[in-house]
Amino acid sequence: MAEIQARQPGPDGIALGLAPAAAGDTAKPGNHRALLVLNGSGSPITVTIAVPGVTATFEPIPDNAVTVAANELRAIPLLGVYADPENNRLAAITWSSTTSVTRGVIQL
């Protein structure tokens, strides 16, 4: 798995420097963190962030599936609920397609 390292802007801002999306991407969730997704393809994609655990009735908690339109840049909050205790508290991210998709994590 490839952990996407968070970048934090300084007083002059930050160049985003997004990298290609890949199978097995992970990121550290937390306050003021967001996954940035740039879909450069001609079709929408779905980004899914796994929500570990089960409900009180032992049903799996639904994952968060976010549609990113063609040629759209979207910021998706990396909520603490995505931290998987069985994976070093990292969030697991999957992509319906990685063609022409880049991503990064920003900490504000």
Task: Specify the CATH number for the domain of residue 38.
Answer: 2.60.290
Q: Among residues 74, 70, 71, 63, which one has the least CA distance to residue 34?
A: 74
C-alpha 8/C-alpha 41 separation (Å) is 27
Q: Among residues 77, 64, 72, 68, which one has the least CA distance to residue 34?
A: 77
Question: Residue 66, Cβ neighbours under 10 Å: how many?
Answer: 13
Please, what is the end-to-end C-alpha distance for the chain in angstroms?
24
Domain span at residue 77 reads 2-107
Mind listing the pLDDT tens digit for each residue in 5-61? Answer: 999 999 999 888 899 999 999 999 999 999 999 999 999 999 999 999 998 899 999
Number of helices (H), then strands (E), in the chain: 0, 10
pTM, 2 dp = 0.93
For the chain, the domain total comes to 1
